[in-house]
Amino acid sequence: MLAVDRDEGFVAFYPYPYTVPVICPSTIADKKWLLGTLKNELCEKLIEEDIIHPGYTVPARNSYKCATDITMPTIASEHEYGFSSNGIDYELAKTLYQNININNSLVIRGLCTLIKAAMLRTHYQFQEEAIYSLFISMEVSFRLVLQELKNQGVVNPTSKDAMTFIHDAFNDIHRVNKYFEDYYEGRVMSFHPESRLGTHPHAPLMADDYSFLFNDMLEVYAYLICGHIHPKHNKK
């Protein structure tokens, strides 16, 4: 998802949230056999029928189908994938994958909420919650930048230091004083229905808040994980 050029396209994932146990031989010599077995086992799990347990009238739903408006993956349905030769930098995707430290809890949390934001945004009813998830990703990125500044010898780095770090990395000339300052008040009013900024019956957010912040977070995470900067930023 981080390797998609947002000027070219968009990718959102629906990770399968359940474990699918597979019994394999003690030694596996044929990688193709293994991949084929996993594929078949997973497809069977995705499309298995609902179960009515004895004594119950309501069926136990297929765990994947519980969210009825989620389209089944192409691998388990009749729908075809649409392919594009543009938009995804596959070499960047490999580099990102190799550099993601799964033992870094901050990185994992930020990436998870970024993925969930894209999932939620797919459904009109959850646009507000999608931005909430993005706000968590933004906070994680802020903490990651502070860590990097400390590693560079900055004592007690501030929000302004963090934003300067990002501006310098992306050759940005439109500078603000605090880390993603444009979203600060919206985040406060969203998470605190009553605050010094007033009392609000709903989150005072706009659809553009999601779009702009999501695109920014894709680039910030790609940079923090492997140092990638899109060439377009060199033209500023």
pTM of the model: 0.81
At 42, the amino acid letter reads L
Coil/strand/helix, residue 157: coil
79 class by beta-carbon count within 10 Å (0-12 exposed, 13-18 middle, 19+ buried): exposed
Distance of alpha carbon 32 from alpha carbon 29, whole angstroms: 9
Residue with tokens 């499309």, as numbered in its chain: 47
Structure tokens at 150: 């400390």
Report the range of poorest mean pLDDT among 33-37, 50-54, 150-154, 227-231: 33-37
Residue with tokens 């993603």, as numbered in its chain: 180
Altogether, the residues listed in the chain come to a count of 236
pLDDT tens-place string over residues 6-18: 888 888 777 766 7
pLDDT tens-place string over residues 201-213: 888 888 788 999 9
Distance of alpha carbon 121 from alpha carbon 4, whole angstroms: 17
Residues with Cβ within 8 Å of residue 57, at least 6 apart in sequence: none
Nearest to 191 by CA among 204, 206, 178: 204
Mean pLDDT, to the nearest integer, of 13-29? 71
Distance of alpha carbon 94 from alpha carbon 79, whole angstroms: 27
Distance of alpha carbon 233 from alpha carbon 236, whole angstroms: 6
Of 42-51, 72-81, 139-148, 191-200, where does the model show the most confidence? 139-148
Nearest to 50 by CA among 68, 62, 58, 67: 62
Q: Are 121 and 214 in contact (CB under 8 A)?
A: yes
pLDDT tens-place string over residues 107-164: 999 999 999 999 888 888 888 999 999 999 999 999 999 999 999 999 999 999 999 9
